[in-house]
Amino acid sequence: MFTLRWTPTARRQYDELEAAAQKAAATRAQRGKSKSSGQEGLIKQVRKTVLLLGQNPRHPGLQTHAYHTIANPFDPKAKVFEAYARHHTPGTYRVFWCYGPGKDQVTILAITAHP
């Protein structure tokens, strides 16, 4: 098990996704619809990705691989990784993370739509 840490940017991005999902759920309930929205599905997938990162960053479902465009904030020689939160859909999302700064810690750097 890993302790999850969040950069302020990643926390803000997560909170924005959470707020959008809650708003979509409220609108859906108000209209009497039962099918969840894309925003609700997205936050569910992001939550699962974050949960798996805390349990096992090498989980095969994350499809984790090194990402070379972002610098590691703790060690310039260490890698930053990209995990898939949503894949094979028009609105793909990625969670960028790195190990550290301490032992058994994972820091979530960003949660973004994949370009």
Q: Note the pLDDT tens digit of each residue in 33-45.
A: 877 778 888 999 9
Separation CA 87–CA 93 (nearest Å): 7
User: So what's the pLDDT on residue 50?
Assistant: 96
User: What is the mean predicted confidence (pLDDT) over 60-67?
Assistant: 93
User: What is the mean predicted confidence (pLDDT) over 2-25?
Assistant: 95
Look at the pTM and tell me if it is higher than 0.85: yes
CATH of domain 3-113: 3.30.2310.20
Radius of gyration in angstroms for the set of CA atoms belonging to the chain, rounded to a whole number: 15
Separation CA 14–CA 104 (nearest Å): 22
For 51-109, the DSSP string reads: HHHHH-TT-GGG--EEESSSPPSS-TTS-EEEEEEE-SSTT-EEEEEEE-SSTTEEEEE
pLDDT band at 94 (very low <50, low <70, confident <90, very high): very high
User: What is the mean predicted confidence (pLDDT) over 76-92?
Assistant: 84
User: So what's the pLDDT on residue 37?
Assistant: 73
**DSSP state, 6?**
E
pLDDT band at 29 (very low <50, low <70, confident <90, very high): confident
User: So what's the pLDDT on residue 3?
Assistant: 96
